[in-house]
Amino acid sequence: MLSQAAPPVLHREAAWKRLGEEVFDVLVIGGGINGAAIARDAVLRGMSVALVDTRDFASGTSSKSSKLIHGGVRYLEYGEIGLVLEACRERDLLRTRLAPHLVRAQPFVFPIYDDDSLTLWRLRAGLLLYDILAAFRNVENHKILSPAAVNETEPALLSQGLCGGALYYDCWTDDARLTLETLLAARTAGAAALNYASVVALEKDSAGRLATAHVTDMLSGATQPVRARCFVNVSGPWLDHIRRLDDAGAPPRLKLTKGVHIVVDREKVGNRNAVVIRGASDNRVMFVIPWQRQTLVGTTDTYFEGDPATVRADADDIDYILATVNRAFPSAGLKSGDIISAYAGLRPLVAPEDELDESAVSRDDQIFESPAGLLSLGGGKLTTHRHVAERMVNRVSHRIGRRVGRCRTRTVPLPAASGCPPGGVLYDDHSSTEEHVRARYGALGHELSTMVGEDESLGLRLVDDRPDIKAEVVYAVDHEMAVTVDDILSRRLQVALRSRALPERVARDTASLVADHLKWGEEDVESQVSDYVDSVGGTAAKQAGAAGRTSRVKS
């Protein structure tokens, strides 16, 4: 039988109570992939851990990526050997041991044209080094392709000026679910985690060290102090905001860049594999990535100034992506009406304190500490989150004043990974419901099956054009800390990004399934529907608008 979860409202009350009563070894501020990984690492070492996020878990950068776990082959062009080595090692761990149900192999085709700055021999040398850095443990080693072989592999790809190319392997993932499962693993191990809980003030003790965070429950409006021995700021694009709660005069450390993606039907593009393409106007690297029957295209790279909560895909972003795809795949003829969804995320990149021009912005992560003891993390990559967390928790362990265990995250898989073989290529949308559930939930898929066995109506599809079933909606609320319709449809499931169904109807059907679980009345349901429709409208190309000034980033 499916284990009976506490009602979501009672779970939230219990977590809120813990935050106010305990003194934690570490309070993690931010529930993205880095925050989730830090919480899991720390609690597995025996620390007492709390984690809060102003919004939902993974609602920022960690659900707005290219959905790739990759070694960073393009970073070789800039000589970042150490970063690539780290990423290759972490990619292998995630695919084979830690999250094989979520991290799956993905073949990439890298074409070279006669007007490219990168030559075929340099690509060959780079991919050989890539295989070496991966210790030849990748799914397969790269293969150099002749022009004819590229055309045979990707017949819809532009053939004019083609010099050849290569086939190599990286990995795909569901970024939001990888974050969520990491966070759920931390909670299962003992961490107190709460979404929609905002740090509004930081308080120091008589020695000038941080001792208390004042946290507001964004749903109830209540505020209470949360005490901890160490405070870790992994709030992504909001990093400098939290730093200024500690020190109002703290200089900015981030240079935010915006990345936009679009989702279209794969048959319109015609790609068979993931394909590396070049920007139509600036020659920067972009990806065309198969996502079952759909294709994900991105990403852009523009500087962003403004409130991170207002970031949107604007018309220039959409035009740039469409022009780039249509040049690389001449028969695609994509127009804005072909876009199923578009989304924008922000990269919290670190800029040196004394030099903030664009050429100085680093893609690597950096940990820095304030005089009062606030540890902040800037930068970082989805692929390297585990190793970044290990380094951060090492710093925390020296600060809390007691002995803790060694890092275990290199060997302990996520709970849903139990018994799953190394990740193969992503399954097709035509698969059975059972395969869909198994691919998303791994070893925990039997819990969804049990729900359907007890109520057959929960086995029905939520929308006609996606395999997501109604049981997943209820499961998201009862077991995965979802508290809004947007939490469910945008992050626990993938309906917001991938379905053409009318948002209002989907939101209403979703709200009706969980209203009793969340104690929603009619006004609550109407508010949830309205909020979701507004949220989805903010990601659609037809309603895109500039939110903050943007300028193209130099390649």
Task: Give residue 472's domain range.
Answer: 425-542
User: Residue 429 is part of a domain; what is its CATH number?
Assistant: 1.10.8.870
Is 56 within a domain?
A: yes
If asked whether residues 374 and 473 sit together in one domain, one would say no
If asked whether residues 231 and 355 sit together in one domain, one would say yes
pLDDT at 279 over 70: yes
If asked whether residues 441 and 526 sit together in one domain, one would say yes
DSSP 262-324: EEEEHHHH--SSEEEEE-TTT--EEEEEEETTEEEEE---EEEES-GGG----HHHHHHHHHH
Is 235 within a domain?
A: yes
Q: Which amino acid is at 338?
A: D
Can you tell me the distance from the alpha carbon of 110 to that of 164, in angstroms, rounded to the nearest whole number?
A: 9
The total of structural domains in the chain comes to: 2
Q: What is the mean pLDDT of the chain?
A: 89
If asked whether residues 538 and 442 sit together in one domain, one would say yes
pLDDT at 356 over 50: no
Output the pLDDT for position 491: 97
If asked whether residues 230 and 360 sit together in one domain, one would say yes
Least confident of 21-30, 48-57, 76-85, 319-328: 76-85
Can you tell me the distance from the alpha carbon of 429 to that of 98, in angstroms, rounded to the nearest whole number?
A: 25
User: Residue 41 is part of a domain; what is its CATH number?
Assistant: 3.50.50.60
If asked whether residues 376 and 458 sit together in one domain, one would say no
CA distances from 197 to 217, 405, 544 (A): 5, 29, 29
Is 73 within a domain?
A: no
If asked whether residues 361 and 498 sit together in one domain, one would say no
Is 331 within a domain?
A: no
Instruction: Give, as one character, the DSSP assignment of residue 360.
Output: G
Output the pLDDT for position 550: 39
Residue that finishes a domain, picked among 399, 414, 434: 399
Is 272 within a domain?
A: no
In tens, the pLDDT along 24-40 reads 999 999 999 999 999 99
* Burial class, 425, CB count within 10 angstroms (exposed 0-12 / middle 13-18 / buried 19+): middle
Can you tell me the distance from the alpha carbon of 473 to that of 8, in angstroms, rounded to the nearest whole number?
A: 13
Can you tell me the distance from the alpha carbon of 100 to that of 468, in angstroms, rounded to the nearest whole number?
A: 20
User: Residue 540's pLDDT band (boundaries 50, 70, 90)?
Assistant: very low
In tens, the pLDDT along 138-191 reads 777 889 999 999 999 999 999 999 999 999 999 999 999 999 999 999 999 999
- The two structure tokens encoding residue 39: 């919480």
Mean pLDDT of 388-416: 94
If asked whether residues 395 and 492 sit together in one domain, one would say no
In tens, the pLDDT along 428-478 reads 665 678 888 988 999 999 999 999 999 999 999 999 999 999 999 999 999
Quick one: residue 173, left, alpha or beta (phi over 0 = left, psi -120 to 50 = alpha)? Answer: beta
If asked whether residues 431 and 528 sit together in one domain, one would say yes
If asked whether residues 429 and 529 sit together in one domain, one would say yes
Burial 51-67 (b: 16+ CB within 10 A, else e): bbbbbbbbbbbbbbbbb
If asked whether residues 529 and 463 sit together in one domain, one would say yes
Is 209 within a domain?
A: yes
Is 187 within a domain?
A: yes
Is 292 within a domain?
A: no
Output the pLDDT for position 555: 35
Output the pLDDT for position 353: 55
pLDDT at 62 over 70: yes
Q: Count CB atoms within 10 A of the CB of residue 33.
A: 33
Residue that finishes a domain, picked among 365, 399, 433: 399
If asked whether residues 431 and 388 sit together in one domain, one would say no
More reliable by pLDDT, 146 or 87: 146
Output the pLDDT for position 429: 63
